[in-house]
Amino acid sequence: MPDAPLHLKVQDIREQARLNSLLEEIANEQSTHPALWRRAIQSYSDLVSVHLRRQIPSGPLPPPKPSAARRLSQAYCQRVVECFDQQANMADHAAALRVTPTHLTRVCKAETGKTAATLLTERQLYAARSLLISSDLPMRDIASLLGFGSAAYFTRFITQHTGETPSSLRKKARLSAVAL
């Protein structure tokens, strides 16, 4: 038998009938216990094994199709990255993907271990850190670029999620770049 589980579709009707017949014989031996019934079950099982092994396609198997949940969470993550400059919130992304925000959150949590809102927040933090480190833009301009209503709200957001102010993050990043 194969080392890993395998989903087989026995297409040939005659082969299906042979396998069914062998399985019925095993059940019959098991329920009636005639002489040498254990040996008969072993022999029938060996025949089932041979028939099933003949059904396994040769060559590499195609990769399994991703589940609907995996496809949805991947589509969401892709949208978060590609549509980031549109400043869409999680509900906007859910609507674009034609699901409810609750469903999107549940699926993302199951697939990634993080909620849809957490994934969006992480993307905002990434963009904020990138702009803080790579540009000399004032905080109010970075806040505006990232869709925050004010520099104060941007500062609260960064401080809440990183434990440091935006200017502190910028300073540390520049000091470590100079040290290299």
pLDDT in tens, 23-80: 999 999 999 999 999 999 999 999 998 888 888 777 676 777 899 999 999 999 999 9
- Nearest Cα to 116, choosing from 92, 85, 90, 78? 90
**Is residue 2 very low, low, confident or very high in pLDDT (cuts 50, 70, 90)?**
low
Domain co-membership, 92 together with 162 = yes
How many Å apart are CA 58 and CA 106, to the nearest integer? Answer: 39
Total tally of structural domains belonging to the chain? 2
**Residue 25 confidence (pLDDT):** 94
Average pLDDT over residues 4-8: 75
Domain co-membership, 106 together with 171 = yes
Rounded mean pLDDT of the chain?
90
Domain co-membership, 78 together with 164 = yes
Domain co-membership, 41 together with 92 = no
Burial group, residue 69, by CB count within 10 angstroms (0-12, 13-18, 19+): middle
Q: Look at the chain and count its residues.
A: 180
Of 18, 37, 64, the last residue of a domain is 64
Long-range contacts of 76-83 (CB under 8 A, 24+ apart): 76/104, 76/108, 76/116, 76/119, 77/112, 77/119, 80/119, 80/120, 80/123, 81/123
**Residue 9 confidence (pLDDT):** 81
The predicted model scores a pTM of 0.64
Domain co-membership, 56 together with 83 = no
Domain co-membership, 170 together with 94 = yes
Average pLDDT over residues 115-126: 95
Domain interval for residue 10: 1-64
